[in-house]
């Protein structure tokens, strides 16, 4: 009877220790920082200018992009990314921002060091605008 109790105690101790161990990072998880020089629209959110930390991780059927502001009020944003393409290693890391009459909109985030380009919804422009594309450089960490 003592042997069974010791075995059960060992099993419970082992299981509880494993539940506190952090899960290994997915190969798809990406992180880094970037700075926005001006306010942009990012899907349905308005993201103010400032320095941000981003993480990209799997979340069900799509990827989840999380932004955390490193300066000021420390605001945070979460975006579900449904459209992802492969990125070429020769591409620069950047945010692709397109002008619209209602402001600047993030249309893509290129992360070649992680092999992905994320695409975001941008409203169609009702009138013709010059094809000006502004970019912001990102730095990534593994």
pTM of the model: 0.66
Query: What does the pLDDT look like over 4-37, one tens digit per residue?
Result: 544 444 433 333 333 333 333 444 578 999 999 9
Query: What does the pLDDT look like over 36-80, one tens digit per residue?
Result: 999 999 999 999 999 999 999 876 677 899 999 998 888 899 998
- The pLDDT, as a whole number, for residue 25 is 42
Cβ neighbours, 10 Å, residue 37? 11
Q: Are 31 and 53 in contact (CB under 8 A)?
A: yes
Q: Are 113 and 131 in contact (CB under 8 A)?
A: no
- The pLDDT, as a whole number, for residue 28 is 52
Residue 110 is inside which H or E element, if any?
strand 103-111
Alpha carbon distance 37, 55 (integer Å): 20
| pLDDT interval class at 3 (50, 70, 90) | low
């Amino acid at each position: 009877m003592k042997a069974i109790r010791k075995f059960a105690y060992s099993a419970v101790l082992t299981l509880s220790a494993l539940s506190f161990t952090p899960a290994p990072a997915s190969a798809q998880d990406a992180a880094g920082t970037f700075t926005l020089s001006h306010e942009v629209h990012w899907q349905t959110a308005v993201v103010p200018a400032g320095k941000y930390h981003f993480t990209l991780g799997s979340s069900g059927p799509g990827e989840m992009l999380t932004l955390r502001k490193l300066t000021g009020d420390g605001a945070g944003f979460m975006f579900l990314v449904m459209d992802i393409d492969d990125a070429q290693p020769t591409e620069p890391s950047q945010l692709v921002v397109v002008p619209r009459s209602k402001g600047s909109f993030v249309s893509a985030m290129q992360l070649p060091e992680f092999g992905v380009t994320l695409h975001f919804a941008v409203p169609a422009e009702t009138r013709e605008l010059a094809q000006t594309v502004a970019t912001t450089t990102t730095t990534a960490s593994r």
